[in-house]
Structure 1
Amino acid sequence: MNYSLHNLLEIIDNLVWGPPLLLLLVGTGVYFTFRLGAIQFLKLPLALTYLFTKEKNVKDKGDVSSFAALCTALSATIGTGNIVGVATAIKLGGPGALFWMWMAALFGMATKYAECLLAVKYREQDANGNMLGGPMLYLEKGAGQKWLARLFAFFTIGVACFGIGTFPQVNAIVDAGHIAFNIPHEVTAIVLTLLVAAVTIGGIKSIAGMASKIIPTMTVIYVTACVVILFNNASAIPSAMSLIVNSAFTGAAATGGFVGATIMLAIQSGVARGVFSNESGLGSAPMAAASAQTNSCVRQGLISMVGTFLDTIVICSMTGLALVLTGVWSMDIEGARMTTEAFSLGLNQSYGPMVVAIGLMFFAFTTILGWNYYGERCVVYLFGQRAVLAYKIVFLALVLSGAFIKLDMIWLIADIVNGLMAVPNLIGLILLRHVVADETKAYFDSLKQNLSEESTHVNV
C-alpha cells in the first residue's frame, strides 16, 4: 500500500513540477526583472539601507515593524530548505542543482518584490483589527478573481498543514535531536508541540518577536560555521564551483553512492527546492509583508526581496558549497545526515554536528511558527475569526504526528502542495503586472523629485 501511494505521489509531483510550472515560476521572475529594470540588482543597496533605517511619519496601520515583518517571512523561509532541502536537491540533481537554485533565486527576487508590493497595496483589517493581506486579497480586490483567491487560500492551508509548515520541519528537528543529542523522537515531538502552542497563542506580535531574536542570531552562527568550512577547503573552491556550473548543463556522473542526474533533474530539483526554501512566487511572504507598519508598498517590496537574497544566495549557497567541498554529496546518505556529515568533515566531529542540529532545530521551529501564521490568515479569509481555534488544534496535532512520517513521503507531499499554491499566485502577479510597474515608477519618480528638491534647497 505504501509503495503504491508513494508511486502515485511521485506521478502527481512530476505533473505539478513539470515544465509548465517551472516556466511559469522562472518566467514570471524574468518578466519582472526586465519590466522593472533589474530592480533586484540595481536597488538591492537601497533595500538593504531601508532594512536598517526606520521609516519616518508612518501613517498606515500595521501590526509590526518592517524589519519584524521581514523576520516573520524569513522565519518561514529559513529552515529545513536551507539545510536539508539543499542536500536533497543535490542528492537528486547533482551539484548542478545548486546553480539552478541560484538562477531561480536571482529572478525570484523580482517576483518576491512584486508580490509583497501588491500585498501591502491591497491589505485590509480583519475583525480583530489585525492586518489581513496577501495573494487572496490582491487576487480578489485587485484582479477581481475571487475563485482564484479562495483556491490560493485553500492550497495555503494545505501547505501550512501538510507541506512546509509541519512535516519536513518536525522530521528535521526530531532527527537532529536524535543524531546530535540522542533524544528520543517522541520526547522531541511532545516538547516541540508544547512550544509551538505557547508561542502561537500570542499571534503575529509574539511570532514576530520570537523570529526577530532567533533568525538574525542563528543566521550569523550558521553562516560563520560555513565560512570556516570554506576557509579550511579554500584551495578546492575553484574546482567545486566548476563542478557546480558544469553539472548544471551536462548532468552529474554517478560516483560512490550517488545515482547520477540528468540536466532536467538538476533543473527540476534545484528550482523546486529553491522555491521550497525562499518561497518566491509561492505567495507566502506577502502575508507577512502585509502586517508591516509602512506608508509605501514599494518600500516594503524592496525590503521583502532581501529575504530571497539572504535565504538562497547566502545561506543555501553556504550549505551547498559545504556539501560539494567535503564530497558528501556523492556518499550514500541523505537528508539531515548528509549536511551533518559535511559539517563533521569540514569543521570538527564534535562541533560540526552540533551546529547543524542546533541550526535545524531553531530554523525549523521558527518556520513552523511562520507557517502557522500564514495558515491562520487564510483560515480567517475563508471562514472568519471563529475558525482559528479549530485550525490551531489541527495544526498542533499535525506537528505532533510529523515525527513519524518517512522522509521521502514528506518531501513529495510538500512539493505537491507548494506547487499547487504557487499557480494562483503567479496568475495574480501576471494579471496585476501593470499595477506593480506603475507603483514602482511613481515611487522612484517621487524619490528623484524629493532628492532634486533637497539638492536645490541646499544649493540655495
Structure 2
Amino acid sequence: MNKFVADFASFVWGLPLLILLIGGGLYLLFLSRFLPFRYLVHAIQVLRGKYDNPEDKGEISHFQALTTALSSTIGMGNIAGVAVAISVGGPGAVFWMWISAVIGMATKFFTSSLAIMYRGEDSEGNTQGGPMYFITQGLGKKWKPLAVFFSFCGLIGALPVFNVNQLTQAINDIVLKPNGVAVDFTSNLIIGLVLVTITSVVILGGLNRISKVASKLVPSMVLLYFVLILIILFANAEVVPSYLKLIFTDAFAAQNYKGDAFLGGLLGGLIILGVRRGAFSNEAGIGTAPLAHGAAKTNEPIREGLVAMLGPAIDTLVVCTLTALAILVTGVWQTTEANGVSLTANAFGNAMPLYGRYLLLICIVVFSVSSLFSYAYYGGKCLSFLIGAKNKHYYNYFYILSIILGATTSLALMINLIDAVFALMAIPTMTATLILAPRVVKEAKLYFKRMEKN
C-alpha cells in the first residue's frame, strides 16, 4: 500500500502538474502585471477592517477568513513539511519553496477573487464560495463534472491524517519517550481520542465557532513561533549569513539532494521537491483557501483576493523560512537521521536544551489542532456540494474517525496520500482559474478606478 500510494503521488506530481501550478501561476502574475505586489498596503488596510460593511453578503470578516485559511496552511506544512524538504533536498529546497510562494500569491489572488465573484447557493439556499461554485457559476453547468471531481478529491484531501500523524510523533518524541513512557499503538490511540474530543467540540459548532477560535489562536502562535526562532538565530548568529547564501547556491547545485532525479537531473528532482512542499505549505492553486475566503463578508471580490494573497507571504516566506533557518543553523539536518517534526524538535532542543522542545510542542499543538478545525469545514463543504447541505454533518463523523487513523499509521503513507489528492484538486482549480482569469483582471481595473474616485 505504501509503495502504491508513493508511486501514484510521484506520478501525479509530474511535469504536467508542475507546468499547471508554476506555469499557470506565472501566467497569472504577468496577466495581472504584478498587481498583488503593487497593492500590498491596500490589502493590509482591507484586512484591518477599514472597508468592512456589516450589510455585505457572507458569514465571516476578512480577518477571520484569512486566519481560517491560515490555520489550515500554517501547521505541519511549515514545521514538518519544511523538515521533510530539507532532509531530502538540503538547503536548496527552501529556495524553490520561496519561488512557489511568490507565484502562489498571484494564484491565491485570482482563486479567492473568483470565490467571491461566483458565489453559489447550496441546497438549503445559503451563500457559498469555492472552486466547485466558481466552476459551475463561472464556466456553466456543462463544467459540473470538474466541480464534482474537485469536491470528491476534497473529501480525502481535507482529512487530517498528516497533521495528526505528525502531532502524535511530536508528543511521543518530546514528552513520552524522554520521560520513560512506552510508545505503542495504545499510547497513539489515546492521543487520537483526546484530539477527537477537542476537535468534536469545535467543528460541531460550525464555521462561526471555527473562525472565532482560529482568529484568536493563529496570530498569537505565529508570534510565539517567531520569537522562539529569533532566539535560535541570535544564538547562532555567526552562521546565519553563510546558510542564507547556501540556500541560493544549493538551489542550483543540488549538492545535498538525496531524492530521485527528474527529467534526467538532480536539479529537476530538487525543484519538484521544493514546489511540492511549497504547495503543501501554502496550498496556492490547490483550492482549499477559496473555500474559506468564499465565506467572507464582502461584496467586493478583489478585496478578498488581496487579503488571500497575504497567505503565502505569511505562511511560506515568513514561517517556513524561520523553520528552515532553525534547522540549518543548528546543524541538525547533517547530524541526525530524524525526519519530519522530529528534525525540527531536534533543532529547538539543540538551541534551547531545557525548554525548547516543550515550547515548540505548544506551537505544534495549536497549529495542528487549528488545522483540524479548518479542514473539517472544507470537507463538509465538499460533501454538501455532492449530496446536499443537509447531509454535510456526516462528513464530521468520517473526519473524526480519520483522526484515529492518522494517529496510528506511518508518516510515509499519510504524506503521499495527501500529496497525491492535493495534486488532483489542483487540476480543476487551476484549469477554471486560468480560463476565468481575464474576468478577474477586468473586475480589478473597475475596482481600483472606483477606489481612486472615493
The match for 1:156 among 151, 154, 172 is: 154
Task: Note the alpha carbon deviations across 1:99-122, whole angstroms, 9 max, x for none.
Answer: 000000001000000000000111
Give the superposition deviation at 1:124: 3.0
Task: Note the alpha carbon deviations across 1:395-442, whole angstroms, 9 max, x for none.
Answer: 111112211110111111111011011111000011101111111111
The match for 1:336 among 333, 337, 341 is: 341
The 2-side partners of 1:43 and 1:338 are apart by 37
Unaligned runs of 5+ in 1: 451-460
Shift of the 35–62 alpha-carbon distance from structure 1 to 2, 3 Å rule, reads same
- Contact kept? 1:226, 1:318, Cα under 8 Å: yes
Give the superposition deviation at 1:193: 0.4
The 2-side partners of 1:403 and 1:36 are apart by 43
Task: Note the alpha carbon deviations across 1:374-414, whole angstroms, 9 max, x for none.
Answer: 01111111100232232111111111221111011111111
Task: Note the alpha carbon deviations across 1:316-337, whole angstroms, 9 max, x for none.
Answer: 0100111111112223111111
Give the superposition deviation at 1:130: 4.1
| 2:167 match | 173
Shift of the 57–207 alpha-carbon distance from structure 1 to 2, 3 Å rule, reads closer
- Contact kept? 1:152, 1:421, Cα under 8 Å: yes
Task: Note the alpha carbon deviations across 1:297-355, whole angstroms, 9 max, x for none.
Answer: 10011011111110001100100111111112223111111000111112x11221112
What's the TM-score once normalised by structure 2's chain length? 0.93
The 2-side partners of 1:86 and 1:117 are apart by 28
Shift of the 154–28 alpha-carbon distance from structure 1 to 2, 3 Å rule, reads same
Q: Quick one: which amino acid aligns to residue 343 of structure 1?
A: F
Alignment of 1:238 onto 2:234: no
- Counting only pairs closer than 5 Å after superposition, residues 21-420 of structure 1 correspond to structure 2 as 21-128=17-124, 130-144=126-140, 145-161=143-159, 166-182=160-176, 184-253=187-256, 262-330=266-334, 331-346=336-351, 348-420=352-424
Task: Note the alpha carbon deviations across 1:61-99, whole angstroms, 9 max, x for none.
Answer: 211111111111111111100000000011122111100
Range with greater deviation from structure 2 (394-403 or 121-130): 121-130
- Contact kept? 1:59, 1:295, Cα under 8 Å: no
Task: Note the alpha carbon deviations across 1:176-222, whole angstroms, 9 max, x for none.
Answer: 22222217322211110011111111110010011011101111000
Q: Quick one: which amino acid aligns to residue 436 of structure 1?
A: V
- Contact kept? 1:176, 1:356, Cα under 8 Å: no
Q: Quick one: which amino acid aligns to residue 154 of structure 2?
A: T
The 1-side partners of 2:333 and 2:40 are apart by 32
- Contact kept? 2:115, 2:293, Cα under 8 Å: yes
Shift of the 318–190 alpha-carbon distance from structure 1 to 2, 3 Å rule, reads same
Range with greater deviation from structure 2 (110-119 or 319-328): 319-328
- The percent of aligned pairs where both chains have the same amino acid is 38
- Contact kept? 1:105, 1:313, Cα under 8 Å: yes
- Contact kept? 1:251, 1:260, Cα under 8 Å: no
The 1-side partners of 2:121 and 2:212 are apart by 21
Give the superposition deviation at 1:58: 4.4
The 1-side partners of 2:316 and 2:259 are apart by 25
Task: Note the alpha carbon deviations across 1:243-263, whole angstroms, 9 max, x for none.
Answer: 111111010247xxx789821
Range with greater deviation from structure 2 (269-278 or 49-58): 49-58
The 1-side partners of 2:411 and 2:136 are apart by 36
- Contact kept? 1:63, 1:130, Cα under 8 Å: no
